[in-house]
Amino acid sequence: MSETYDVVVAGSGAAGLTAALAAAVNGARTLVIESASEIGGTSALSGGRVWLPANGTPENAGDSDELANRYLDQIFDTRYEAMIRTFVREARVMAAFVEKHSPHRFVVCPNYPDYHQDHAGATRGGRCFDVAPVDLGELVPQARSIRQPPGYSPITHAEWEKWRYPAEIDHDLLADRMARGIRTGGLGLVAALLDGAVRAGVTVRTGTALTGVRTGDAGVTGVRVRTGDGERTIQASAVVLATGAFDATDELRHRLLPAGLGVSASAPSDTGIALTVADDLGLPVDNLPEGWWMPMARPEGDVVDGVPYPRGLVRERGVPRQIVVNRQGRRFVDEAVPYNEFGKAMHRLEPGDEAHLIFDEGFRARYPLPGLTPDGPLPAHIVAGEDLATLAGRIGVDPDGLAATVERWNGFCAEGVDHDFRRGGDAYDAYYGDPGQAGNRCLGPIDRAPYYAMRVYSGVIGSKGGPVTDTAGHALTRDGSPLPGLYAVGNAAAFWTGDGYPGPGATLAVGMTFAYLAGLDAAR
């Protein structure tokens, strides 16, 4: 079968659909191919939030390109200054384009702080945007083919801020939304982008895996794909690699990412085909050892595409009545730090060490934890003990070390200051603390039996290594010139962000911004 398109986008996550939308709106015949049977990749499994500095909203008053650049220069890889400047300038342009050409609406989070409050240029809110709820019944039929993460609930970020804890959540409202097809988060973001792309003329095919990129003397000539009917070639003058990360492949994760990294929350289809393409074409790659780090839990029964799937631990680490310890029973980090920084701390543990979240009955009665309810049987990934010594024995932690650590922690809670790691000492820590608690929102004793433990795994929500690109998303050759017609965006590209993570939604923001620019360039 012979087919010809102007642009082929490989990958149907937020970056891929943004690139396709930009290309199609600007007149290009565009095809999106997705290797999985469902649409959305890792983006659909995410929270869907997007970090947009200097965005011009009243909640972001006082922000500017200068402040955002100053902030990012302290976090991102300064070898790629041009990428930083382009991102700050174009992120808000991308957002305006998406809202104009799709039903997606960005909803500002006025209270959600940047991750590095000690850095010049950080803000205490107004840069992160949530997803306005979308009604699948009003979108194109393919919007019903978007993957759904385990434990999904169509809650908005503003509602989470209002409710926070299981006893406060309006479960009837959320159940009604699920029944009526109202979606939020990453699923809602992908659904809205998909609707905009399809209405702009984009063709989207699932079960179609990229296997290679064809080139000639003038650059890209097409792609090789594999479907249920076999392999074939599709002709195109531009190809956008938006195939996601490589960390869903055990071999690549173990070989390229830090030792001790336990689990991946990338979609199982994120197997690193962009690295294969780069190798086939002799293109340089960069940033292979880096990822977007996240501590994770592994509730039994959570699967995606038939593969066990972990859940990230973001909000659980800021509330009182819990600590995280190593096998010696000692704390090793401020538990409430941004998840990327927590992940780095886990990578500094001794080889073979493990981490456990330790909490008490007071925590269980008030705060959420994946798979755990305030009463009823304990899930398999939670261990209980009538006292700390029994609990320590059941999880392989030194009982004397744990007892001493909990005693020291309880003393800090009585005083209101964590003298070891300053937990609760900045706006980000406090944001995820308990607003109903006076004083330090993040401190609370562990003193109500029974006691519980949950294994915490070092995880990644996307690797950052791939083909090196320029500010238009072109994949570069070894002499630094673009390979005509080939682009790489999102986690499929070499993320010039280094080991940095500036704020909530930065992963999607960077991916979507450069995908927008790549789509425009590909259409030209």
Mean pLDDT by 10 residues, the chain (524 residues): 89 98 98 98 98 98 98 92 97 98 98 98 98 98 96 97 95 98 98 98 98 97 96 97 97 93 95 98 97 97 94 97 98 98 97 96 96 94 98 98 98 98 97 96 98 98 97 97 98 93 98 98 96
Q: How far apart are CA 16 and CA 14, in angstroms?
A: 6
Q: List the domain boundaries for the chain.
A: 3-210+464-523, 316-459
Q: What is the pLDDT of residues 192-242, one digit of tens each?
A: 999 999 999 999 999 999 999 999 999 999 999 999 999 999 999 999 999
List the CATH code of the domain at 3-210+464-523: 3.50.50.60
| Beta-strand relationship, 128-131 and 106-108 | antiparallel
Say what the pLDDT of residue 2 is. Answer: 63
Indicate yes or no: pTM above 0.85: yes
| 3-class DSSP string for 402-460 | HHHHHHHHHHHHHHCCCCCCCCCCCHHHHHCCCCCCCCCCCCCCCCCCCEEEEEEEEEE
Token pair belonging to 266? 């990338």
**How far is the C-alpha of 441 from the C-alpha of 427, rounded, in Å?**
11
Q: What is the reported pLDDT for 495?
A: 81
Model confidence over 351-406: pLDDT tens digits? 999 999 999 999 999 999 999 999 989 999 999 999 999 999 999 999 999 999 99
Domain spanning 316-459, CATH class: alpha beta
Longest CA pairwise span in the chain (Å): 73
Closest C-alpha to 133, from 185, 211, 63: 185
User: Which phi and psi (to 5°) does residue 291 adopt?
Assistant: -155, 175
